[in-house]
Amino acid sequence: MDPRRNPFSPGAGVRPAQLAGRDELIETCEIAMDRVLNGLYANDIIMTGLRGVGKTVLLNHLVNLAKSRGMETIKFEVPDASGGHLTPAMVIALGAVLKKLDRLKKAGDGLRLAAAALQNFAAVFRVKYEGFSFGASPARAVADSGDLETDLPELLMPVARAAETRKTAVVLFIDEVQYLTKKELSALARTCHEAAQQGVPFLFIGAGLPQIAALAGDAKSYAERLFLYPEVAALDDAAARKALSAPAQAQKVKFTNGALDRILKETDRYPYFLQTWGKFAWDTASKSPITEADVKEANPAIIAHLDQNFFRVRFDRCTGLEQQYLRAMAELGAGPHRTGDIAAALGTTSSKLAPVRRNLISAGMIYSQRYGETGFTVPLFDGFMKRMLPELEPYKPGRRSLS
Ligand SMILES: Nc1ncnc2c1ncn2[C@@H]1O[C@H](COP(=O)(O)OP(=O)(O)OP(=O)(O)O)[C@@H](O)[C@H]1O
Ligand SMILES: [Mg+2]
């Protein structure tokens, strides 16, 4: 059918025509926003889920919901685990927030203090900042110790108070939270903790891979009580069907039940794959309804496309040994698997493979939610690994470098 009217949108953070199955999670976040606006306490939230499950799309949707409430929003994505991304992002975003707060109500003492904190913070963390200062005196010893854990709360508390004076609140959204360094994560947790204790209108909503709960717990023992960790999972059966049928229906196109059954089976109901199968099935079918035969016909092209694009880029970033590790995981199935079993599949021990595993976790390829357990962060990666490397080779120490 006409690709110009194809309503499916596989891509990173691309808003789907139908945001299916997330009502409960959205409601949880909306309640938190409204509580904060009403001067009440709400847990900060870190949504966790695998690759392509719809975290970025959700976060963008929540940013819009916060904006529609007149809340001041800050959103950024941590690009990788190299560190140092948080401070410049905060300076730029908070500079913009202060300007907006100034427009709501001209600078008073509160805003001046916030601006001074921002100037100090930018200076001590060597971030170029040319925002305006509201005549603030940078001499005030606030947010200028050089210790992020002290300075980040000292920076954000006055901004949230300035927002409160203007009858609004600050919501900080961070995508790919698992890439923050331990220090950055500690500083963030400390900020949330301070905000809760001081009763200032500040809310943090993050999204990241499943290991984030453990990372946050390591960074600060109280993180467990501070954050809610709702899971962004594969869609349930009804939502997955709706994700396919509703956008088609809007174009007066139907899927047969057989076609839907087949797509649900192929995709394990993961949103990115639902979009991909929907798109290809639409393009393959010559007319409505889209049938199971259309899906079957499209399948080889879909697998080839995903292998070439979605999976392959991740695979290519790994060293030979890392690829072997992933291949051993695939041998055991979709997972998660016991770390010891993975080592055994390679004919060696977990301790020998610890550096490889650590690198793969830090690169976001695999995750460990529970001690001694390892899973793929990318759904359906096991099938891809078997297609890429049909044979599982035993581990040969020294054959390749570990880095
Ligand atoms: N609830 C949903 N219903 C239907 N499609 C969805 C839903 N959520 C996301 N999608 C689609 O899934 C794809 C992936 O979404 P998104 O980029 O938000 O995932 P992600 O979890 O952020 O992935 P990554 O971890 O790789 O960043 C997009 O094409 C999006 O349109
Ligand atoms: Mg994302």
Phi/psi of residue 271, nearest 5 degrees: -55, -45
DSSP-derived 3-state class of residue 230:
coil
- With a 6 A CB cut-off, is 53 part of the ligand 1 pocket? yes
Q: Does the residue 394 lie in any domain? A: no
- The better pLDDT of the pair 286, 395 is held by 286
Query: Ligand 2 centre and the CA of 362: distance in Å?
Result: 16
Query: For residue 403, how many other CB atoms are within 10 A of its CB?
Result: 9
The pLDDT tens digits of the residues spanning 360-387 come to 998 899 999 888 899 999 999 999 999 9
Instruction: Tell me: do 145 and 263 sit in the same domain.
Output: no
Structure token digits, residue 251:
């174009």
In the block, tokens 């962060």 appear at: 377
Q: Looking at the structure, do residues 272 and 222 belong to the same domain, yes or no? A: no
- Does residue 215 share a domain with residue 146? yes
User: Per the domain annotation, does 400 fall within a domain?
Assistant: no
**Per-residue pLDDT, 311:** 94
Asked if residues 340 and 350 have their Cβ atoms less than 8 Å apart, the reply is: yes
| Judgement on whether residues 129 and 73 belong to the same structural domain of the protein | yes
* Residue 299 belongs to a domain: yes
The alpha carbon dihedral of 329, 331, 336, 339 has a sign of: negative
Mean pLDDT, residues 76-81 taken together: 94
Q: What is the pLDDT of residue 331?
A: 96
110/197 Cα distance (integer angstroms): 19
Are 61 and 19 a contacting pair, CB within 8 Å? yes
Ligand with an atom nearest the CA of residue 8: 1
Mean of pLDDT values over 120-128 = 92
Ligand 1 centre from 50 Cα, in Å?
10
Number of H helices, E strands in the chain: 17, 8
Domain boundary among 288, 314, 340: 314
Question: Do residues 32 and 10 both lie within one domain?
Answer: no
Q: Which 8-state DSSP code applies to residue 123?
A: H
- Asked whether residue 395 is assigned to any structural domain, the reply reads no
What confidence score (pLDDT) does residue 214 get? 83
pLDDT at 401: 45
Asked if residue 183 and residue 104 are part of one domain, the reply reads: yes
pLDDT for residue 136 is more than 70: no
Tell whether 364 is covered by a domain. Answer: yes
What is the residue type of 375?
A: G
Nearest-CA residue for atom 26 of ligand 1: 51
Predicted local distance difference test score (pLDDT) of residue 109? 84
One domain, residues 180 and 243: no
Q: Look up the domain containing 71 and give its range.
A: 23-228
pLDDT in tens, 316-370: 999 999 999 999 999 999 989 999 999 999 999 999 999 999 999 988 999 998 8
CA of 261 to the centre of ligand 1 (A): 20
Question: Residue 400: what are its φ and ψ, rounded to 5°?
Answer: -135, 160
Distance of CA 62 from the midpoint of ligand 2 (Å): 14
Question: Which of 19, 23, 56 has most ligand 1 atoms within 8 Å of CB, for mutation?
Answer: 56
Same domain for 185 and 139, yes or no, is yes
Verify whether ligand 1 is closer than 6 Å to residue 271 (CB atom). yes
CA of 207 to the centre of ligand 2 (A): 8
Q: How far is CA 232 from CA 9, 53, 137, in A?
A: 19, 7, 45
Average pLDDT over residues 226-251: 97
Helix (H) or strand (E) holding 333: none
With left for phi above 0 and alpha for psi between -120 and 50, is residue 347 left, alpha or beta? left
Q: Are residues 76 and 208 in the same domain?
A: yes
Q: Which atom of ligand 1 lies at the shortest distance from residue 377's CA?
A: 25
Please give the residue that has the higher pLDDT: either 81 or 60.
60
Q: Look at residues 299, 314, 329 and tell me which one is the last residue of a structural domain.
A: 314
Confidence of residue 133 (pLDDT cuts 50, 70, 90): low
Beta-carbon contacts of residue 86 (< 8 Å; ≥ 6 apart): 78, 148, 152, 180, 184, 187, 188
Cβ of 95 less than 6 Å from ligand 1: no
Percent of the chain at pLDDT exceeding 70: 96
The rounded Cα 1 to chain-centroid distance in angstroms is: 34
CA of 302 to the centre of ligand 2 (A): 21
Question: 201 with 271, same domain?
Answer: no
* C-alpha pair distances (Å), 62 with each of 27, 30, 137, 171: 10, 8, 36, 10
Nearest CA to ligand 1 atom 24: 51
| Adjacency order of strands within the sheet including 373-376 | 337-338, 373-376, 366-367
Model pLDDT, residue 402 = 43
For residue 259, pLDDT over 80 is answered with yes
Residue 403 pLDDT > 80, yes or no?
no
What CATH number should be reported for the domain holding residue 362? 1.10.10.10
Nearest CA to ligand 1 atom 15: 54
- pLDDT over 90 at 397, yes or no: no
Residues in the chain: 403
Looking at the structure, tell me whether residues 91 and 178 fall in a common domain.
yes
Ligand 1: which of 61, 244, 272, 380 to mutate, most ligand atoms within 8 Å of CB?
272
Per-residue model confidence (pLDDT) at position 114: 92
Residue 42 has pLDDT above 50, yes or no: yes
Q: What burial letters (b/e) apply to 39-66, b meaning 16+ CB within 10 Å?
A: eeebbbbbbbbbbbbbbbbbbbbbbebb
- Going by their DSSP bridges, the two strands 202-208 and 337-338 should be labelled as unpaired
Asked whether the CA dihedral 215, 216, 217, 220 is positive or negative, the reply is positive
Q: Residue 306: enclosing H or E segment and its boundaries? A: helix 292-306
Helix, strand, coil share (%) of the chain residues, nearest 5: 55, 10, 35
Structure tokens that stand for 17 in this block: 């025509």
Count of structural domains within the chain: 3
Residue in the block written with tokens 């707060």: 101
Co-location of 127 and 152 in the same domain: yes
Read off the pLDDT band of 188 (50, 70, 90).
very high
Q: Is residue 83 one of the residues assigned to a domain? A: yes
* 143 ligand 1 Cβ < 6 A: no
Strand partners for 119: none
**Which CATH number belongs to the domain containing residue 251 in this structure?**
1.10.8
pLDDT band at 209 (very low <50, low <70, confident <90, very high): very high
Atom of ligand 1 nearest to the CA of 51: 25
pLDDT at 258: 98
Q: Which of 210, 228, 246 is the last residue of a domain?
A: 228
CA distances from 325 to 178, 372, 391 (A): 21, 15, 13
**What is the CATH number for 172?**
3.40.50.300
Q: Are 234 and 52 in contact (CB under 8 A)?
A: no
Our answer on whether the CB atom of 51 is closer than 6 Å to any ligand 1 atom is: yes
Q: Which among 6, 48, 53 is the best mutation to test ligand 1's pocket, defined by most ligand atoms within 8 Å of the CB? A: 53
Q: Is residue 115 one of the residues assigned to a domain? A: yes
pLDDT above 90 (res 41): yes
Structure-token match 């174009």, residue found: 251
State CA 286 to chain mean position distance: 37
Q: Which of 30-34, 131-135, 181-185, 257-261 has the lowest mean pLDDT?
A: 131-135
Is 290 part of any domain? yes
pLDDT reading at 400 higher than 80:
no
Class of residue 232 by CB neighbours under 10 A (exposed 0-12, middle 13-18, buried 19+): buried
